[in-house]
Chains A and B, each alone.
Chain A
Amino acid sequence: DAGVIQSPRHEVTEMGQEVTLRCKPISGHDYLFWYRQTMMRGLELLIYFNNNVPIDDSGMPEDRFSAKMPNASFSTLKIQPSEPRDSAVYFCAIQEGTGGTDTQYFGPGTRLTVL
């Protein structure tokens, strides 16, 4: 989880409530990614940003999901209203560039449970 802080680490909420997940990159990066991981579907890309601009949100499952990146040090993923099927671990990852061995470094994740 080098270079990325996520909060909260665990979130339990009830169906219909709004959920906001936070990501704070603490090291240099050009790209920021939001992933969701479940046993059934594995690790899925939801959306990614380049220099704070959303580039590809084709993985966002529904209009209930939205993501913002107001500056290079902060991003949010919001689910409104939440549903039980949104229960998953949500990871934020950063990448410095697009050349050679530039790879993605993941934050520790937020485990979301929607009852």
Chain B
Amino acid sequence: GQNIDQPTEMTATEGAIVQINCTYQTSGFNGLFWYQQHAGEAPTFLSYNVLDGLEEKGRFSSFLSRSKGYSYLLLKELQMKDSASYLCAVRDRAGNMLTFGGGTRLMVKP
């Protein structure tokens, strides 16, 4: 099975940088995903890591260490619209099923 942990809530200031951590314990691993979910909306895909290292996409970056079972999502130059929940998800070895963490609710304050 999969066990995924993320902080429940975080608060940061507009313009700042925030790092959201995710740790996982899995019986099989075939990639780690980050999704963003605004209140009342569906999750939307942000990033994907399958190899160790940093993947950068504009203001968002995601890091993976498979040996440590650890990932983080880094958000730079925070904007008010970044206030949302961020879900970490691990894909199983077969490549089909995602197991989601409980999500981290990020509040960006002026």
Complex contacts, A54 vs chain B, CB 8 Å: none
Partner of B97, one of A48, A105, A107: A48
Given contacts A42-B101, A43-B100, A56-B97, contact A103 B43 (CB under 8 A): no
Determine if B24 is an interface residue (Cβ-Cβ < 8 Å).
no
Asked if B100 and A107 sit within 8 Å, CB to CB, the answer is no
Tell me the A78-111 residues at the B interface (CB within 8 Å): 91, 95, 98-109
Interface residues on chain A, number (Cβ under 8 Å): 24
CB distance from A109 to the nearest CB of B (A): 5
Of A100, A101, A103, A108, most buried by chain B (CB within 10 Å of CB) is A103
CB distance from B39 to the nearest CB of A (A): 11
Determine if B95 is an interface residue (Cβ-Cβ < 8 Å).
yes
Nearest opposing residue in chain B for A104, CB measure: B98
Determine if B26 is an interface residue (Cβ-Cβ < 8 Å).
no
Asked if B95 and A103 sit within 8 Å, CB to CB, the answer is no
Determine if A55 is an interface residue (Cβ-Cβ < 8 Å).
yes
Task: Give CA–CA (A45, B98) in the complex, Å.
Answer: 8
Asked if A106 and B33 sit within 8 Å, CB to CB, the answer is no
CB distance from A39 to the nearest CB of B (A): 10
A interface with B by C-beta (< 8 Å): 1, 31, 42-45, 48, 50, 55-56, 91, 95, 98-109
A-B contact pairs, 19 of them (CB 8 A): A42-B102, A43-B43, A43-B87, A43-B100, A43-B103, A44-B100, A48-B97, A55-B96, A56-B97, A95-B96, A98-B94, A98-B96, A99-B95, A101-B48, A103-B33, A103-B48, A105-B45, A107-B42, A108-B41
